[in-house]
Amino acid sequence: WNEDSECVELIEEYKVENSPLQTSTTSSKPHAQLLHRKWRKKKIRGDYGPWLVEIGGNSGVSSNRGSAQSSLRENACNPQWVACDTRDAWEWHVRNIPYPQETYSISIQNEQELVLRTSNRKFFKRWCIHALQRVGGTLDRDAVTFHHGDDTLTIRYRKPEVALESDHGREEHLFQLLRDGGFSEAASSGPSECKTS
């Protein structure tokens, strides 16, 4: 979203370990683990489109999910897709998927999308790694691993060096915001609107 960053609303939630604000004698380096990231783009009319959950689960995205007014609910036995961000890899967990390991295959299409298929044709998922696209990277088949256990398929994609550098820069920016009390010059100038023609 670099070219239209003013037209994007982004929400991130972090867990900070060994906060840079603490004056401790431990030599542990501060680390911020990304727990949740969702974003949405502003439409031409000025309102925002739907949330795209990049990291974390879909909880809280739909306003009527699980509410008393809604007569439709997801079956608790349906597969659940959760994306995670670790220090050295992106991970996706597919819960409630009971098939053996040899049932699954992962391929790359057009160097931009990962595709998960099952040989019994019971599950199919196509997705891209937005964080990798933002730093200009392409997918590498050798960076993908997966394993299955306890009805959960875990897929890992090892982060390339350019993504690790980007994460480090984002983490340093976050720590600087914490040191400054949560404010930046860009935020203090007030919200800006998308330019319309």
What's the structural domain count of the chain? Answer: 1
Structure confidence at residue 62 (pLDDT): 43
Model pLDDT, residue 61: 41
Around 66, how many Cα atoms within 13 Å sit in the side-chain half-sphere? 7
Q: What is the pTM of this model?
A: 0.75
| Structural domain for 116, as ranges | 2-63+78-188
* pLDDT tens track for 135-161: 999 999 999 999 999 999 999 999 999
Say if 24 falls within a structural domain.
Answer: yes
H helical segments located in 49-160: 130-134
- Summarize pLDDT for 35-69 with one digit per residue, the tens: 889 989 888 787 888 998 899 886 544 444 444 55
Domain presence at residue 152? yes
Predicted local distance difference test score (pLDDT) of residue 158: 98
**Quick check: 69 and 63 in contact, CB under 8 A?**
no
d(CA 52, CA 177): 25
Question: CATH number, domain at 167?
Answer: 2.60.40.790
Residue with tokens 């819960």: 95
Query: 183: pLDDT confidence band, cut at 50, 70 and 90?
Result: low
Which of 5-9, 12-16, 139-143, 181-185 is predicted least confidently?
181-185
HSE of 73, CA atoms in CB hemisphere, 13 A: 9
Is 100 among the domain residues? yes
Is 69 inside a domain boundary? no
Quote the CA–CA distance of 51 and 61 in Å, as a whole number: 7
Q: Please compute the mean of the pLDDT values over residues 117-123 and round it to a whole number.
A: 96
